[in-house]
Structure 1
């Protein structure tokens, strides 16, 4: 059977729901922050400390969504729906085990960890109380990530969108009710936020598990699949560590130039995170479509998709850059009116504008190579870019007094190095190995 070509409508049908899934959590976090903010500064600081700990579950175990998508997409392309569902089952087992371990270890160290991160005993107490409830959501968060992974592989993005929206909507309603004691509910304070978070996560996780159950799969652990997924986990974890080392260093150096520089850095970082969220939706479409084409044995289609999606993503990035250029005089003032903070953005703002274009290319390439299973190459490029570009320039900025401009130059070099390496890799075609399991490694011959 000859497959119909991938149309623009089909691509948008993957991109737009993916934006919704990616945007749901940041929007909920904003709402949660606004509600908790009514309790006072100590409660809000406690939420910040607690969320910093819980967010590690999502950032360190990202392979459950991105790694599973690539493997599932290949099997979808090969017409093996049973294999796709099996990937989802095994990823869900891994998610449950790792999530419980994360929660248990987190509970054991919640008090000393909160004390180490908080600035006062009162904030530490608030954070620890929040964590004792919210940490039980770790396995639920990971199960959702696994569910997103196998369903994206099936190119089914709409159901995950509804699952996530239902969970976060419930959490949002409960946050206001339980935190502030509305409608006759007990006023639980910050702990109410944790309970609301947990209930919403439980509902979303249950919906993802129910989707698996409807497929009538075997729930028996398949150790070869689990080992293959954990091999991807190692690559993603090392890549995540490189990212964290970069951004923690950037924040630390920005702080040493004073409050104005740190505030300016936070503004730019928030905007960059939002831009990355939008561009990541194209990367998700690339994972699904490229993996499916390779699983079906259509390497030429996968290569054509790689360049087509790269152009799309670059175009989105360029459009964002135009908006930032037009809004350079007033967008920063939406965040602050402090003259010192605005002055600190004078040069970094234009670096950020350029980054949106480069980021469009890089995110698409990441999606293509993740969809092909070429994660080892991505890990090596990320670590090399961090060690040769970002980190040296960030710390040189501190030594030579380059300020925030030096910090964001480091980020620009980091992204540029990844872009050049990605363009070379995509152009080489060595990633386009067909089959339901293919996952090329750096230096492997093309077969």
Structure 2
């Protein structure tokens, strides 16, 4: 007696369960991480305006430095997931350890640059004379935790590739809790001021890195994988991450150009723009959680040689992305009277914000497709295409955005340019998805 083939509904439900099992914990971990800076801000804010301004400058520099290396998570997830799909867990963990060693090397290099250059960088960033000393103090101390932060990125990629997003959630929540407690004790109890906040963050990040390494090392010993640094493997991890670095830098350039244009439009516009960016980032966490599931699942399918399964789950995740975008866009419109007063009471800012916010709401279904396909192609190890597509997107966006003030456009026009940017990204990613050229099977790309 032959076994009946699964029905389309059964397959969809299976994919849904798999996506949710990875995406929901990933979302929790993504939300927990930015709370580090939020806690630091809340604690330091009671020390004085100069200290809070110094934190603002230092935190912006640190977040930029760390976000540049987010490829450590993305590239590691894809590489490990392929090995998992091929049924070779020792090689998967070995691949992950190469990413961890690369993170340690890069983190050490960043410290070597950050410690002596901190005063110059803070000054170049435009910190005031009263805020600069606090910014330098926070930046120098916090930079000591950058190797741990990068190890967290790489180790998170290892666990995601192993189809485990729950452990990163637990570690992120524990890290956030420890950071909050340490900040209060060191800033107020010990009396270290802003330096205490920086040390609290460093200790919490080191604890998170140690927790991740404990999990990875146990897995390596269980499966007989070597923990020693392998120069060839580290170089391979760096090569795989280079295209994703280009992609990330291009995306950061888009955001920097948008903020610079908003600043040229005046204080009211840049204030409204900052509110929108904060909201945009929050919605991005929800969509990025689906993308992370895509990285892990697609890599596993291709590692197992199942191109049809990869296509099917890709289609389902695109549907999830569109639906999530529609829901998020609707929430922005419906809830705007509730959340806007939380950010500002300035009528001029509100009047500038509202029409631009509607453009953001319209863009969310497009953003849903972009995030999902970005994750799918990362999971497939299609980094070179992602880098090229993002450079093209930047080339389309930059001149249009720069023309906004020249033609007398306001913040709403700028966010129409942002929608053009997202539509361009969607078009480039959709063409790649339809071509099938990303469907490269095997334990390695």
Q: TM-score, normalised by structure 2?
A: 0.94
What are the ranges of 5 or more consecutive residues in structure 2 without an aligned counterpart?
none
> What is the CA distance between 1:78 and its match in structure 2?
0.5
Report the number of matched residues.
Answer: 432
Report the counterpart of residue 114 of structure 1 in structure 2: 122
Report the counterpart of residue 307 of structure 2 in structure 1: 299
> What is the CA distance between 1:339 and its match in structure 2?
1.0
- Contact 2:171–2:211 under 8 Å retained in 1: yes
Let me know the Cα RMSD of the aligned residues.
1.6
1:414 aligns with 2:421: yes
SS of the residue corresponding to residue 376 of structure 1 reads helix
Q: Which has the higher contact order (CA 8 A, sep 6+)?
A: 2
1:331 aligns with 2:339: yes
Cα distance in 2 between the residues matched to 1:146 and 1:111: 29
- CA deviations on 1:294-314 (whole Å, 9 max, x unpaired) are 000100000111110110111
Report the counterpart of residue 159 of structure 1 in structure 2: 167
1:231 aligns with 2:239: yes
> What is the CA distance between 1:221 and its match in structure 2?
2.6
Report the counterpart of residue 63 of structure 1 in structure 2: 71
Report the counterpart of residue 444 of structure 1 in structure 2: none
Cα distance in 1 between the residues matched to 2:65 and 2:258: 22
Report the counterpart of residue 197 of structure 1 in structure 2: 201
Aligned with residue 357 of structure 1, among 346, 351, 365: 365
1:92 aligns with 2:103: no
Report the counterpart of residue 253 of structure 2 in structure 1: 245
> What is the CA distance between 1:351 and its match in structure 2?
1.0
Aligned with residue 386 of structure 1, among 390, 394, 417: 394
SS of the residue corresponding to residue 176 of structure 1 reads helix
What are the ranges of 5 or more consecutive residues in structure 1 without an aligned counterpart?
439-447
Report the counterpart of residue 442 of structure 1 in structure 2: none
Cα distance in 2 between the residues matched to 1:84 and 1:258: 51
> What is the CA distance between 1:202 and its match in structure 2?
0.7
Moved more, 293-302 or 222-231: 222-231
Moved more, 219-228 or 264-273: 219-228
Moved more, 142-151 or 329-338: 329-338
Aligned with residue 11 of structure 1, among 3, 15, 19: 19
Cα distance in 2 between the residues matched to 1:75 and 1:415: 32
Moved more, 271-280 or 329-338: 329-338
SS of the residue corresponding to residue 389 of structure 2 reads helix
> What is the CA distance between 1:12 and its match in structure 2?
1.0
Cα distance in 1 between the residues matched to 2:84 and 2:398: 40
- Contact 1:393–1:406 under 8 Å retained in 2: no
- Contact 1:175–1:192 under 8 Å retained in 2: yes
- CA deviations on 1:143-164 (whole Å, 9 max, x unpaired) are 0011001110010111121122
Structural mapping, 1:71-150, within 5 Å: 71-150=79-158
> What is the CA distance between 1:233 and its match in structure 2?
2.2
Q: TM-score, normalised by structure 1?
A: 0.94
Structural mapping, 1:207-226, within 5 Å: 207-214=211-218, 215-216=220-221, 217-226=225-234
